[in-house]
Amino acid sequence: MAAGGGGLLLLCLLAGAVRVSVGAGSLRVLRGGSVTLPCSFHTTAGPQRLNIVWTATAATPHAHPQQILAYERGEVRESLSPYTGRVAFASAPTQSATIILNATRASDAGVYQCSVTNPPDWQAPSVGLIRLTVLVPPSSPECSRDGSAEPGGRMRLGCAVREAVPPPTFTWDRVPPAEQPLQPTHDGELRALLTLHNVTAGTAGLYRCTVANALGAASCTLELRVGTAARSTPGMAVGISVTLTMALVLLALFALALWLHHQSSHKQPEEEEEEGSYNEIRIDSFAPGRLVVSKPPAGEATLAPRPAGPLWVFTTSTPCTTYAHRRAADGNQHPPPAQSSPAEGSSASSKEEEGRWLPACRQEHPGVRV
């Protein structure tokens, strides 16, 4: 009796458990396509308290599960996530928990979990796991180069793609093909390197990298020139240096011209003032040893142009020397006339000397007023 009661209890427990089946454990889909994620369940209880939850864990390091779709107490609830608007139940959730994912992306790859509970059946949830792989053809590869392009140097040619699922294969070749195949080395799943040792003029040419997987292929090309870039660098440096030197010289000349113009602008008022105060030297009286300098009116001084040089130089050989200076030069050869009285003697002597020197002075310097 006890044995029969235990078997009945075990039968009741088995009848009350929810069983979930997802079929295949992994699926593949081409990016941009649609995929069906199956999930079927068996329960003995009614659907009033049926609970279905779908979560996704991205295939990236340190990713956490996130809920994408659920059915709770007779309502479908779509969570706010990158899957919003692209995921839905394939049929009524009371019959099947299968969902459809549309417009798949590369980021959709990961692990999907289907969890079903239906009280009063066994409370522990029954789950099923599906691993989804999104296939992506190789993106356009990018070719690069690094190293010395001089003869005898080493060059490293690189080829990389941003995405490709499954991981692609890389092939390097020359155009036209070389006699020996080129052997690249992989730097991760999405990059390959081709190292050229002891480059020569024969190493120069066109190189092509081809990236391929089951979904497609793409390529990029790179032209290698040995020695051209290295020889052109000094020439460019010399040209830049010459240009900068000429620019500095021109700036210095321009600064000098501005400085000279500034100096001349300051000197011009002084010269005009000097011209305005130019003195007319005339013999006012022929008294011995006396010269009178008179300044013309301001109106006449400004109109008269400044002479290029002095009107005359007072020397012992100049005919226009004043009487006082001439007497000093002649010494005792021409004694002054006798003076009967201070006023009459001076006047007579002055008139006599003027009669002797004025004709010669006017003949030699017609433009001089004496």
Rounded to whole angstroms, what are the CA distances from 237 to 227, 231, 233? 16, 11, 6
Q: How many domains is the chain partitioned into structurally?
A: 3
Does residue 2 form part of some domain?
A: no
Transcribe 14-26 into DSSP letters: HHT--EEE-SSSE
pLDDT at 301: 45
pLDDT at 269: 60
Does residue 251 form part of some domain?
A: no
Residues 46 and 129 in one domain: yes
Residues 42 and 126 in one domain: yes
* Domain region containing 106: 15-135
Residues 99 and 150 in one domain: no
Among candidate residues 91, 119, 135, the one where a domain is terminated: 135
Does residue 263 form part of some domain?
A: no
Task: Report residue 170 as tokens.
Answer: 């890389």
Among candidate residues 135, 164, 193, the one where a domain is terminated: 135
What span, in angstroms and rounded, lies between the C-alpha atoms of 329 and 212? 117
Residues 39 and 119 in one domain: yes
What span, in angstroms and rounded, lies between the C-alpha atoms of 42 and 339? 163
Instruction: Supply the CATH number for residue 186's domain.
Output: 2.60.40.10
Residues 164 and 124 in one domain: no
Residues 284 and 318 in one domain: yes
Residues 285 and 328 in one domain: yes
Are 51 and 76 in contact by the 8 Å Cβ rule? The answer is: no
Residues 20 and 128 in one domain: yes
Strands 19-21 and 40-42 come out as antiparallel
pLDDT at 323: 44
Residues 105 and 149 in one domain: no
Residues 129 and 62 in one domain: yes
Does residue 351 form part of some domain?
A: yes
Does residue 326 form part of some domain?
A: yes
- One digit per residue, pLDDT tens: the chain, 370 residues? 334 444 434 444 444 678 899 988 899 999 999 999 999 999 888 888 999 999 999 999 899 999 999 999 899 999 899 999 999 999 999 999 999 999 999 999 999 999 999 988 876 678 999 999 999 999 999 999 998 888 888 999 999 999 999 999 999 999 888 777 888 999 999 999 999 988 888 888 999 999 999 999 999 999 998 875 444 456 677 788 888 999 999 999 989 888 888 888 776 665 555 555 444 444 444 444 444 444 555 544 444 444 444 444 444 444 454 444 444 445 444 444 444 444 444 444 555 555 554 555 555 555 545 4
Core vs surface per residue 143-170: b (16+ CB within 10 A) or e: beeeeebeeebebebbbbbeebbeebeb
The per-type count for the chain, helices as H runs and strands as E runs, is 5, 20
Residues 87 and 67 in one domain: yes
Give Rg (Cα) of the chain.
Answer: 57
pLDDT at 271: 57
Beta carbons within 10 angstroms of residue 43's beta carbon: 22
Residues 64 and 167 in one domain: no
